[in-house]
Structure 1
Amino acid sequence: MGFVDWRSSMLKNILMHASLLAVLLVSTVVSAEEPTVAETPVVAATPVVAETPAVANAPRPDPAPLPTLAAGSGLFQTLTAVPGTPWTFGLALHMEFFRYTDFLVANQNETNSRTAGGVHFQMFFPHAIEAFATIYSMSNINERQYVSETTEPSTQMALGDFLFGAKYSHRITPFLNLGGALVGRLYSGMAEVGPDFSATSLGFHLLASLDGRTLAPNAPLPFLVHLNLGYVYDGSSNVLGDSPRSADYATVEPLYGYMVQAFALGISQSRVQFSLGLELPFKVKGMTLSPVVEYGFRFYTDGADNTLMGWRHRVAVNGNVAADDTFSQNLMVGVRWHIRPQVALSAGVDLALDYPGYAVAPPLPVYNVFAMLSYHVAESKGPCVVEIREVVKEVDRTPPVEPMGTIHGKVTDEKGAPVEGATIDFVGTQLPRQATDAQGMFTSMPVKPGSYTVRVGKKDYHDQDLQVTVVRTDAATDVTMQLKAKGPEQCSIYVFVKDEEGKPVGGTLRVEGKSMDEKEVKQEVALSAEGKAEVKVFPGAYEIIYSEPEHLTRSATVTLPKCTVTPVELIVKKKPAKSTAQINRKQRQITITERIQFKLDSAELLAESLIILDEVAALMIDNPEILELEVQGHTDNKGKADHNLKLSQDRADAVREYLVKQGVKGDRLTSKGYGHNKPRFANISSRLREKNRRVEFKINKMKED
C-alpha cells in the first residue's frame, strides 16, 4: 500500500478494469447473436464419427452465482454454499464510494472521502469446487486542520491488494447445502506495488445455504438464506509498523495520522466473524430481480493495542465507543438484476451499526455505496465444431458417451388452460427446480434413461406426482400433468361441552347458519367421550346448539369473517325435576311458576332465580319461531315513581343480559321497565305488593305472524 497521487493513478486503474470488462461483454454478445461455424479441414480416407446431437433449449432455472465485494461467489459479503456450473467462469468489476465529515478525527473540520474498486475472477470446477481471485484498490482523501508534527499526505492509496481462495460445497438435502471456504489476502507494501508478505491475512469459513423455494414452495415469495461463520488471522497491521507512543509527542496529530492511514489502507486485526444473508429472487419479464439484505458481526480477538491505549486521555475521537471496544456490526441492503443469464448489475449500501474502538481497529464507514457489473461465461450454445484427426498407431480409450434423454411436459388446470409459474421438482435427484413458462411448458436437463418422479406444485392448487419413464434418447419424453384447484378453506371451531362441575358431557351438537356466500348450513356433530368436537365450516355466521333430554339447551354464536382458531366452551345444566317455565301461545307469553328474585332495591339477580332463567333461555333456543320476546320489569307503588321506573328498567336489562349469555341471540330480546304503572293486583297489602314486584316475558312477534 503506497501514498501516491490518486487522481491520475486511480483513474488509470478504473479505466483499465472497465475497458477490459466492456470488451469481454461486447465480444460475448456479438458471438452469441451471430454464431460462426469453424471451417473443418477435410482429410481423405479418415473416418468421421457424428457427434450426439445436443438437447435444445435445456433450461437454466437459476442465474450463475455472482461474486461478493471481497472474493468468492455469494451475496455482497456472505459467501454462498450453492455450487456453480462446472467449467464455467465469471468476471466482475465493482466500485465503492464513501464521504463523511468528522468521521475519523473530531473537532478539526475533517472531511474524509474514500473511493475503492475491484476486479473479480471466479472459476467453477466439477465436484462443487470453486477458485477465485480479486485485485482490490482504494484511494482515501482526508482533509483537516494540520499541526506541525505530521508529514502525512492528504491522499493515500492502496494499489493492488490481492485476494484469493477456494471453496467447496456439498448438497445435504434438496434444500440445504453446506460447505467451507479458505480466503487469503496479500497486502501491497508501503510505497510499493508488490505485496508485503509480512502483512497477510488468512481466513477459514463454514458456509450454509437454505433454498426456501424447495423447502417452502408455496411461500408468498421465493427466498434463499445464507449463513457464514469463520475465523480470520489478520497481519495487516504490519504494513504500518509500530504505532506512535503518546509520550513521544507534544500533540495528538501523530495518532490522528496513524488512524487515517490505518483506515485508508484497510488495516484490521484477527477476528471471529459471522454473517447472515437473505435474497428474494423473482422473475420480472424474463429477467431475475433479487433484493438482498445482510447482517455482519465481528469480534476482534487480539484486543486493544496497549500503545494506542496510551492516547485515550488526550484524543478526541468521533463516536460514542470506548477505545478498546472489540465488536463491530453492519447491515447491507441492495438489489441484483440479472439482465441476461450471463450479465448482472448490482447496487446497494453498507450501513455501520456498531464500531470497534480506535485502539482495536479502524471504524467502519458510516455508509458505503457500491455497484457491480458481472459477467458469467457459460457453456457454449453455438453449433458443434467437429474436429477430424488422423490416428496413427493410437487406440482411443475414451469411454463412450452415455446416451441421455429429456422430459418435456405441459401443466394445465382442470379446464385444460396452461398454468404458468408452476414449480417442477424431480424427486430424489440432483436436477434443479424449474418453473413452467406462459404456455405451461417445461423441459428437463438431460437425464439418463430410467424412471423419475416429477412433482408439480403451485399456490392454490393441489400438488401432483407423476411417474415418468425415459426410454428414448433421440427424442424427448412428453408428459401432460393436470393440477386440481383447491376449494375454499374450511375453518375449525373447537367445541368443549361440560357440566357445572367441569365434567365432560357427551351428545350431539347442531350447527346452523350461513356462509359468507349466503349458503344455508345445517349439520350435526357428535361429541367425543371427553366432551369435545371439531366443527368444520366455511367463513360465515353460525349458531352452535347443544340439546339433549337430560340437560337444558345451550347455544353459542360464532362469526368467522376469515379462518382463525376458534374455541367455544358450553357449560350445560341438568333439567330440574319440575319445569318452572313454559310457552303459552294463546296468551303469547312465556309463563313462569316462580318469581325472579333480586337483591333489595337492586338489579342484581339472586342465585336461586338463575335456574328459572336457564329454562327460559332453553325454551327460546328450542323454539326459534319466537322472533321477539320482551322482558318486562314491574315494581309495587312504594317509593318515588321515577325511582321505580328506573329500577324496573335495570332489572329487565339484567334479565335480558343473562339470557344472552346463555346463548339466546340478542336481536330476539328486548327489555322494558314499567315501574308501578301496570300492577296485577291492588297495592293494598304487603302480600299483594310482593306479587306486583315481578318479571314477565311477553311474545311480541312469532314467525307465523
Structure 2
Amino acid sequence: MLCQLALPNSANAQAQVDARGSLGVGGSSDANASATSSAPSTAAAGSGTTTATAAGAAGAEAAPADEITKEWAERDRKLDESATLTGGIGLLHTQHAQGGAVGQFRVAFTTEYMSAGFLCSSEFPCPNPRAAGTSLTSDNNDHIGGHLTLSMQVLKWLEPYLSTSAYANSNSANRPTLLQVLGDSTLGAKVHAPLNKVFYVGGAAELWLVNGTGSVGLDGGGTSAKFRALGTADLRGMQKRIPLRFSLNTTYVLDNTGEVVKDTETARGTPITRIERYGLNINRVDHFDINIGAEVFAVQDRIRPFVEYGIAIPINRQDYRCRPNNPSNDKCLANNAVAPSSLTVGSRFFPWKGGFNVTAALDIGITGVGNFIEEVRPTPPWMLYLGAGWAFDTKDRPTTIVQREIVQGPPTKSGRKIHGFVHEEGKSEGVANAIVSWDNHPELTSLATGADGHFLTQELEEGPYAFGIRAEGFKPGQCTATVVREGSGPAAPPPPAPTGHGGSAASQSVSAPTGPQLHGDIQIDCALQALPRAGTIVGHVKDADTQAVVPNATVKVIDVAKKELSGAVDGSGNVRFDQVAPGAAQITVDAEGYLALTEQTDVKPRQDNNVDLLMKKRPKTSNVSVTKGEIIIKQQIQFALDSATILPESNGLLSEIADVLIKNPRIHKIEVQGHTDNTGTPEHNKALSEDRANAVVTWLGTHGVASDRLVAHGYGQTKPLVPNVTAGNRAKNRRVQFIITDQDAAPAGAAKPKLP
C-alpha cells in the first residue's frame, strides 16, 4: 500500500528520508543547506514492514519533499535580511552582493539623532548672523531625521529599491535657527550573482533626487547619481560553516547637490556658511566612496552585530574654485585635502521569525569632524540610528507530499472495538457532538459522537477502559467497559469511576463471546443527566437621560410559561431573577416619578441574560388625562403619510398612555378609535383608520398593556369633529381616540382630572 503524508513546511526545517527507512525532520538554515536521501531499507516488525522511498524508487534523486523544503529553508533564510538606509539588502551603509528570494518585499523605517556643538571653533569660527563683523567660536547643533525604504526582489538577480528621507537641523549660530530638508529620494536597482557558495559580486545604480531649498519639490539641477560595485564573502557557505559575512562597496557619486544653493549664493555674493552646508547636506564636488562592512551571526542568527567603515574621497569634477578667504573660514581642497570618514557599530535583532527586525547603530566621525574644507559637507561627531523593518513573502508555501510504502502483514485477532451510544437519561434520542475522552488511556485521542449519538473506537487490546463523557447542556458522565480475548477466562470487573466527573456513571463489563462473534463490537450505553433548562435575567434600571440609578424601582417579569416574578432593584439599580423559562419574556418596571416601562427580551437557557432598562421621567405637564368615559390626549399620535406606521416622535406620548393604563387597572376595556378626514375614498379611509387603530393597540400591547383590554375600531371619515372645509379642520379630524367602554367606579375622594 502506498501512503501520502501532507507535511506543512516550516522555517528552517527540512524533511529527509534516513537510511533506516523512517521519516525524519531536521536540517539547517545555512546558505548551503542541502537535503540528503539514502537508499531505502526494509525492516520487518510485528504485523508488517514499512519502507520509506525518495521519489518512489530506490536510488532516485532527492524526493520532492526534500526539494520543496530545501527551497523554503532558503527562502526563510533570505527573509531575514534587511536593507540599508537608501535601500538594497545590506548593513546600515554597506550593501551586500546578495538579494532576497523572488517575490519578497522589504519595508523599513529608521530614525537618526545627533546633538553636538562642532561646527564653530576657535580655529574655524562662524560668522555671527546677529552681529555683522563678529564671529562665534561655539555652537549647539541638534539633528533629527528619518528614512523610509522599500525594496523588492523581482528576479533572481535583480533587486530594485527606493527610499525617501527628511531631516532637520537646529543650530544656535545660524539664522534662521532651523534648517529642514524634506523629501530627498533615491531610486535604485542592484544586480548580483554568486561566484560560488562563498563569494558574490554585483553592482548598483542609484538616482538621487534632491529637494530644493526653501520650497517643497525637487530641484532638477541638484539631481545626482551613484554607481556602485559590490563584493561579498559569506562564510556561512563554507564546508564548515563560519557565521561571518564581509562586504566591500566602491561607489562613484556624481554629486550635484551644490546646484540647489547656486541662486542663493549668487544673490548673496558669498558662498553659504558651513552650518548651512551641513544642514542642507551640500557637497560641491563628486566623491569616491569606499565602504567595508563585517557582520556576525549569533544566537541562531537572531542577533547580528556589525561594524562598518566608510570614507568619501573628494573629486573635483566640477572644477570648483574655492575662495581662500571665504566667510566661513573653511580651508580649500586644493591646499588641504580632507576625506570625511566614519566608523559604524551596531546590531540587528530578529526577535521572532517572520522577517521582522530591529536595528540600533552608532556612527562615529573620524575625519572631517573638526577640519573643514569648503567643498565637502562636515562630518558629525556621532549619529544614533534606531529603526525597524519587516520582510514578507508573496509566494504561497506549498504542502510537502512524502510517499511511504507500507507492506502489511496478516491481520491480528487480538483487538475488539467498543461501540457506544450517548443519550439523555430516560430518552432514546442520541446526544450529538458529545466529547468522549479516555480517562485511563490519556495517550489515545478523544472521540466525538455523531448526529445520532453513537461513537466507535479503534480495535483495542484486552483490559478495562473508562470514558469521560461531556456534552453541552448535560452533567459530565462516565461509561466503562472491559475487553477480553478468547480463552482468557471471564471478564475482569470494570475499573472504578474516577472522581471529578460527577453526574451519572453508566458502566458495562462485557466478556468476549466464543465462536464467530469473537471480533464483534462491544456495545455500551452512556446516559447523561440534562442540566436544568432555565435562564437568569439580570436587569439594570437607569435613568434614560442621565444614566443614573433609579432608586426604589419595582420590576415584574412574565416568562414564556406565564410565570410571574417580581422584585426590587438594589442600591446599584440591579435586579436578578433566577429560574426563568427560556424564550420570550416581558419585563415591566415602575418607579415613582417615572413612566412605566415594558421591555421584551429573549431568555437564553443556562446563562445570565443582561437587560438595560432605561426609564423616562414623567413630564411635569402630563399630555394624558382620564375622564369618566375617555382617556384624553393633548397631542395627536403621528403617522407616516397615508400609512399606519407610527412616527418615532410619538413614542413619548404612547409611553404616557401605556403608563396611565398600567396604573389604572380599574379600566377594563378601551376602544381605540381611528379617524380620518374626507381626503380620498370612504373605503380607503375606513381601511386606513382601522390599520392605524390596530398599530396603536399593537404598540401598547408590546409595552405592558394587556391585549384583552384593547379593541381597535376604524371609523374612517364618518365621525368628523369639525367640518372638513379647511386644512386645519382636516388635521383635527385625523385622530386617534381612547374611549372607555368598561371600568370600575373611581375610588371615593379621587381628584377630578383636569381637562385640556
Q: Do the structures match in fold with TM over 0.5?
A: no
Q: Give the TM-score, by structure 2 length.
A: 0.39
Q: Give the TM-score, by structure 1 length.
A: 0.42
Max Rg structure:
2
